[in-house]
Amino acid sequence: MNERDSGANDETVSPTDEQATDEAASGCTEFAFHSLFDGGDDAEGDSRSPTRDGWGGNAESAEETVETEECEESREGETATEPAVETETTVEATAAADAESTTGTDEVDLVSDPKSDLEAVLDSGPEPDGLDESEEADESDDSNESSDAVEIEQPDVTDGVDSAADADRNELPVVRDDVSEPDRPDVDLSDPSYYLNRELSELAFQRRVLHEVLDADNPLLERVKFLAIVTTNLDEFFRKRVGGLKQQIAAGVTEETPDGRTPREQWEAALEEARPLFERQAECYREEIRPALADAGIHIVDYDDLTVIERQQLREYFESSVLPTLTPLTFDPAHPFPFISNQSLSLAVLTRERPDAELTFSRVKIPRNQLRFVQFGDDTRYVLLEDIVRANLDLLFPDVDVVDTALFRVTRNAEVRRDEEVAEDLIEMIEEVIEERRFATAVRLEIEPDAPERIREILTRELDLDDREVFDLEGPLDYRDFADLTDLDRPELKLPEWSPQPHPRLGREDATNVFDAISNDDVLVHHPYHSFEATVQRFLEAAANDPDVLAIKAAIYRTASDSQIIESLIEAARNGKQVAVMVELKARFDEENNLEWAKKLEEEGIHVAYGTIGYKTHTKTSLVVREEDDGVRLYSHIGTGNYHSGTAKSYEDLGLLTADRDIGQDLVKLFNYFTGHSMPRDYRELLIAPGNMRDRFVDLVRAEAERARNGEAARIVAKMNRLEDPELVRELYEASMAGVDIDLIVRDICRLRPGIDGVSETIDVYSVVGRFLEHSRIFYFRAGGEGRYYIGSADWMTRNLDNRVEAITPIDEPRLQRRLNGILETLLSDDQNRWVMRSDGSYERCQPAGDGSTTNVHETFMRSALDDVRTSARK
């Protein structure tokens, strides 16, 4: 039954396919496209689909095996028993039923339009922002092959480079076949070999993101976008994860992780695993991306290839526009070693005043406030700014000989911490953290491979770097700015543009009262398919200007620098409403932005809470209190994503808009905690961390295990960004040992090993990476046929369950449950962006069925959103 066993033999797969920071790769990237899945009432379905057997299946289904070599499985011989939410097993059936109803269209419409129709409409809107996994972002060299069916790719992006992970780390424990079923719980689930390493799993995810760069089937500028994303994600990985490990090593920490590694062992393995990623990225740029750009008329020209006239033009540009901004910093007995800012691109320059003089080291920072791609007139020919600076150093260092140069880049630790328990002022503490990051310990040096030994020795000594922290890389050292090329007006080199659509339940702003719509029935919004501005933002804008609204409360974790959400809250305060806002100052890398907004809110007389002592507030919640004819009513929004209009165009997220009284009262409790000091532990409906969430999830998993032991159908489907918490991994192992059928859609980090005989053989793990960043969290438990669904902000990570304030809401309306069912089913049917995880932690990419049909989750839901708008217009 396990798809991971249907591809190449496990022995041929490198264990280097675990995950990394943030997100995106072609065919299996962090944002996923998925087509409609086949079948109607009588169609055969995927045996691993959440809707098979009405999400339940029968007792025998857990023992079926996969017989194909594709990521599709037979549904033959299965019977639909109890429907999870009185729905058919296909989204087509759901959409067809809803098309005839007048209660709205929160359902997925699986009526497939021709692809040409989708592309025609896609061209009407702006392209989504790039996927920058700021909350947390593999591989294959066979990207040049093009065929109707995408073959399963081997996970080793290094093309023959061995994984750094120790071989014995990936040896699976042997469970004896002769052990009787009642004795299976005696398996020692604390054995480190049952758990994958978090850092290596994150790097495996980055290999899947890198695959989007390598995949020649992707449009060229889409590959360039992911080229920049890989750099951004790995920068963050080194700043946060490698920096944290180095900090632990310096503090003498030797405690082992659940997989049995000390901080030093993890640090060494992470550095070794990351090296081939950087090398493959640079190789792909040199051998594939840059030549393909040139073929498309976008030339990145070497300075030496310019004509004499062109060089003179650039020299004049340098002298007039660049030279005045440069500040050479020399290191000699009279000058201390210069400070080198984090992630800045720099030139190390060796000069001497006369032939017999000592060499002098200087550092020249390549300015970030100048265009890196210097264009020749109207022609699409560009020279990199660092090449222009290097070629004209004689103007910066007159009357001395420039002997040698080397381009380099330094990454510094972001793990600067303060004890907030003793901090007198949280704002002052955060400001100190931001400042100290500038001077934090160096954790990585990227440098040109032909750098003089003198430059290399000075940098490693003065930055206190180990040789293993030095990465020799050919080509540009910083690909972040390459995202600028995606702004070129070259639609033929991009994916068709997508504009998020209005939600059919909310209609046009001038025709539908948002509170009336929510009062009638709950509304489930799905970004980026539904417009953030026309749903969540509109909800708060309407509240700010509605004379019947008494109060608005919101929890802000990340928001846009020009946030209309914040402006709406300010407008509400000016309109005399009570406004309270929880602004999380500890949102990593958004501290400065959040500080500015917090100060602006306070200036308007708004009650602002700056987070909670001991916890980071990660909820995505807001509450509107409204006076109506029958009394005060509470309107709530609980989401999986931030109140950020920018990321809502490229991150896949869900949000519930509801007038449910119990959910509203739970949010009242939660917001009182933000502005007060007592943390409630009991809630009517919501799962709140660090209150009842962990216990509720454990109870839900154990209930499925108990049903399986009693011979009942038992099923769990969970979609999240990361699965790291060892306790929940153990609970899932025990549920699998009891016979629960489990599908996990985990975008990046996953500690759990699927497919271990006698331990996790009924568990499948998938990762979806594609156009949009899969960011929503959805949890389904069969619950004896009742079907329980939840969405919210928390992953199954220790930090989310114990160290953050999180909110998960149940979804009880059958109509919305069918919608969630369709989302999960489509994800599990995707054969364009889905990867299957193997027991050793490696991944293989799914391939389309042999009949030529494909399923792309992102295309499916874009098409569905367009269909909903058309259906709503006809009504």
Give exposure, 744-759, as e/b (b: 16+ Cβ within 10 Å).
Answer: bbbbbbbbbbbbbebb
- What is the distance of C-alpha 152 from the center of its chain? 23
Dihedral pair phi/psi, residue 841, rounded to 5° = 90, 0
Q: Counting Cβ atoms within 10 Å, is residue 320 exposed (0-12), middle (13-18) or buried (19+)?
A: exposed
3-state secondary structure of 651: strand
Q: At 69, phi and psi to the nearest 5?
A: -105, 15
Q: How far is CA 807 from CA 518, 617, 687, in A?
A: 20, 10, 6
Distance between alpha carbon 562 and the CA centroid of its chain, in Å? 22
Q: Identify which of 36, 130, 32, 97 has the alpha carbon closest to the alpha carbon of residue 866.
A: 36
Q: What is the C-alpha to C-alpha distance for residues 666 and 683, in angstroms, rounded to an integer?
A: 6
Pairing of strands 373-375, 381-384: antiparallel
User: Which is catalytic among the residues 211, 526, 530, 618?
Assistant: 618
d(CA 329, CA 315) in angstroms, rounded, equals: 22
Burial class of residue 436 in the structure, from the number of CB atoms within 10 Å of its CB (0-12 exposed, 13-18 middle, 19+ buried): middle
Say if CB 432 and CB 418 are below 8 A apart.
yes
In angstroms, the CA 711 to CA 734 distance is 15
Question: Token digits for 518?
Answer: 């929510």
| Preceding omega of 528 cis (within 30 degrees of 0) | yes
The helix or strand, by DSSP H or E, that contains position 666, with its residue range, turns out to be helix 661-675
Q: How many CB atoms lie within 10 A of CB 330?
A: 16
Distance of CA 440 to the CA centre of its chain: 26
Helix/strand/coil for 99: helix
To which H or E segment does residue 115 belong? helix 115-122
**Is 526 known to be catalytic?**
no
**Beta-strand relationship, 834-837 and 788-792:** unpaired
DSSP 560-593: -TT-HHHHHHHHHHHTT-EEEEEE-TTSTT-HHH
What are the structure tokens assigned to 661, written together? 């009284």
- Cis bond upstream, residue 690 (ω within 30): yes
How far is Cα 35 from Cα 236, in angstroms, rounded to an integer?
32
Q: Write the CB contacts of 320 (distance below 8 Å, at least 6 apart in sequence).
A: none
Q: Which helix (H) or strand (E) holds 364?
A: strand 360-365
Q: How many residues does the chain have?
A: 875
Query: CB of 479 within 8 A of CB of 510?
Result: no
DSSP classification of residue 82: S
Q: 846 by DSSP, 3-state: which? A: coil
> Helices 426-437 and 591-603, interaxial angle, to 10°?
150
Residues 362 and 374: their CA atoms lie apart, in Å, by 24
* Strand 401-412, strand 616-617: pairing: unpaired
Helix (H) or strand (E) holding 808: strand 804-811
Contacts of 132 (CB under 8 A, 6+ apart): 22, 229, 232, 233
Give the span between the Cα atoms of 418 and 454, in whole angstroms. 37
d(CA 199, CA 177): 32
Annotated active-site positions, please? 618
